[in-house]
Amino acid sequence: MLSLRTFARSVPRTVSRSVISRSTLRPLSTVPRTSFVPTWKQASKPAYAAFSTSSAFRKPASDGDVELIAKFEDELGHEKASGLNDLSSSVKNIEDVLARASWNVKDVPGEQEVVLSKKFGNEEIRLNFSISDVRNLSEQEDPYDNALADEDEGHQPINQGHGAPGSVPAQHAEDRVSPADREMDGMEPEAGTDFPARVNVTIEKPGGGALLVQTVVQNGYFQIEDLSYFAKPDLAHAQTAEKDWARQALYAGPPFENLDEALQGMLDRYLEERGIDSELATMIPDFIQVKEQKEYVSWLENIKNFVSA
């Protein structure tokens, strides 16, 4: 014990001071620290200023969007105010016909096809038609205008161009038009709300197959175009591509107009006895127009809501 104390006293004080100054007075920041973070841990990402994109998505992408939305709203206001009002007579006709008949109506909003169905004895009758006929009609040329154009191109007054040079061509009675007739020439043909609409009629019997009657409705009349029989009723409906392909491979019968006229008349009466008559033929074009108007308003609302979302 004494020897240790003697040794401590024998050590120069300068040495102890230098050791103390180097160890105890060293700044803490310069002392290396052992890292306890695993070497596999990914370094933290640098922090960025926080911002929100929710407000950007709520605002229109451009000034054009604002104008587009305003235009849709203007069109919607016009259609809602006057659209169905202009078709009030059509709406009334639909209500009257359906009230007197026993048809069940399948009209799904957003879909183009409408189905009327009823029971007749042991028969199940279905009528299918689509509002796409209105669009198809607008894409077609007006046959009345084409007829006038052909008539104008092909018509030449009698004896015109056969006189002497500088002479006035002679006019016959059939070349002269009265002032009243000239006024009538400038008038448009009377506009009607009726238009051709395709209607497929299926008549099915339990265990007896089905008939498919393809018709065109116009001017209050069902014009039969084709009449086919299918032993498998699902081929008459052909709601899938496979069924439609299988149906096309079968003999569909002769063109209806090639049948004996007496037979054609009996088939017309066959449909009339099942309620497929002139009254229904006047209702279907009205139904198509009213539904197309409703779907148009719904389309406007959907597009406007999408752009403004």
What are the extents of the domains in the chain?
Answer: 101-137+193-288
What pLDDT is recorded for position 306? 95
Residue 75: which residues within 8 A CB-CB, separation 6 or more? 300
Task: Say which amino acid occupies 194.
Answer: D
108 pLDDT above the threshold of 80 = yes
In degrees, rounded to 5, the angle at the alpha carbon of residue 217 between the alpha carbons of residues 277 and 268 is: 45
Mean pLDDT of 257-270: 96
Gap between the Cα atoms of 27 and 266, Å rounded: 115
What pLDDT is recorded for position 237? 80
**Residue 202 near residue 210, CB atoms below 8 Å:** yes
What is the chain's mean pLDDT, rounded?
75
**Residue 195 near residue 133, CB atoms below 8 Å:** yes
Mean pLDDT of 42-50: 54
What pLDDT is recorded for position 69? 93
Mean pLDDT of 36-62: 54
User: What would the two tokens of residue 267 be?
Assistant: 């088939």
197 pLDDT above the threshold of 50 = yes
121 pLDDT above the threshold of 70 = yes
On the CB side of 193, how many CA atoms lie within 13 Å of its CA? 17
- What percentage of residues in the chain have a pLDDT greater than 90? 47
Homologous superfamily (CATH) of 101-137+193-288 is: Mitochondrial glycoprotein (3.10.280.10)
266 pLDDT above the threshold of 50 = yes
Closest CA to 264 of 238, 227, 231: 227
pTM of the model: 0.64
